[in-house]
Amino acid sequence: MESREPEVLVVEDDESIGEAIAFHLGREGMRVRVAQDGLVGLRYLRAEPPDVLVLDLMLPGVDGWHLVREAREAAPALPILVVTARTNEHDRVEVLALGADDVIAKPFSLRELSARVSGALRRAALAEAARPPAPLVEGDLRIDPARLAVTVGDRPVDLTRLEFRLLLVLAEERPAVLERDEIHRRVWGGERAHGDRSVDVLVRRLRRKVDEIGGRYTYVQTRHGVGYRLEAVVRAFPVGAPV
């Protein structure tokens, strides 16, 4: 699978500087959007958060200090690089205290800026890789990959290693339907032999533990002739309802 291009938002009111930054970062394999106004930059930031934010401090509409504050509140892990002609110690300390990760003095080398943006992307990727995976929630089903724990409502579900792996694979690919061959590769790590029914057997075991214990939903759904998917589907006759 090809990795996507890193996205950089540049907020710079000097058109020539903004174009030069966009051209140079684009040559480094990054996708760059440029805003020449603080309000436009804020709109871009809220609509489609970038992987890195590069901005000037002195901007029309909304200044860079406000943008740094808004960006940090909206995306705590977003790398923020400030490029500015305001290089006195007070301004540098203030913008760093607001949440900027780096301050680069104007005029600056485009090669240096590119290196700092690339470094920020690498650090962000390492931090993301080290972060425990967030729990996955579907209906009343909660899967916590970091703790290898599963609950339906408030009830813990005791799964074997293979059952947990099957559930996690289905959850990660929802709402897509996974064919039996793909499930076998993802769960067992090998190709499925012709006529092998181990996927169906494991699905039945998983259903006994997450679908047949009551509650508002069933979770492991069958696409006949294709495979299985994870989706919370309201029971036709919820537990406790008159039949």
Range of the domain at 41: 7-130
In the chain, where does DSSP find H-type helix? 15-27, 38-47, 64-74, 89-98, 110-130, 161-173, 180-188, 198-210
Q: Is 19 part of a structural domain of the chain?
A: yes
- Among 99, 130, 161, identify where a domain stops: 130
CB 99 within 8 A of CB 72: yes
Predicted TM-score (pTM) of this structure: 0.60
Whether residue 102 is found in the same domain as residue 147: no
Clarify whether residues 222 and 182 are in a common domain.
yes
Please give the share of the chain, as a percent, with pLDDT higher than 90: 64
In angstroms, the CA 91 to CA 220 distance is: 56
Q: Give domain status of residue 242, yes or no.
A: no
Residue 241 in any domain: the answer is no
Span 157-180, pLDDT tens digits:
999 999 999 999 999 999 899 999
Q: Residue 147 has which token pair?
A: 């703790």
Residue of 89, 31, 95 whose CA lies nearest to 63:
95
**Domain-located, residue 182:** yes
Task: Please check whether residue 240 lies inside any domain of the structure.
Answer: no
Q: Is the bond into 175 cis (omega within 30 degrees of 0)?
A: yes
| DSSP reduced 3-state for 3 | coil
pLDDT > 60? residue 208: yes
- Cβ-count burial 49-63 (b if 16+ within 10 Å, e if not): ebbbbbbbbebebbe
Query: Are 16 and 97 contained in the same domain?
Result: yes
Domain with residue 117: its CATH number is 3.40.50.2300
Check whether 238 has a pLDDT greater than 70. no
Give me the mean pLDDT over the 76-97 stretch.
Answer: 87
Counting every residue written for the chain, the total comes to 243
- The CATH number for 155's domain is 1.10.10.10
User: Averaged over 113-131, what is the pLDDT?
Assistant: 88
The number of angstroms, rounded, from the C-alpha of 51 to the middle of its chain's C-alpha atoms is 11
At residue 120, the 3 state secondary structure works out as: helix
- Under the banding of pLDDT at 50, 70 and 90, the label for residue 237 is low
Does the pLDDT value for residue 1 go beyond 70?
no
Same domain, 14 and 126: yes
Pseudo-torsion of CA 40, 43, 48, 52, nearest 10°? 60
Name all contacts of 201-207 with Cβ < 8 Å and 24+ positions apart: 202/162, 202/163, 202/166, 203/166, 203/228, 205/160, 205/163, 206/159, 206/163, 206/166, 206/167
The number of domains in the chain is 2
Single out the residue in 96, 130, 164 at which a domain terminates.
130
Residue 170 domain-assigned (yes or no)? yes
Tokens of 120: 């920020």
Domain boundary among 97, 130, 163: 130
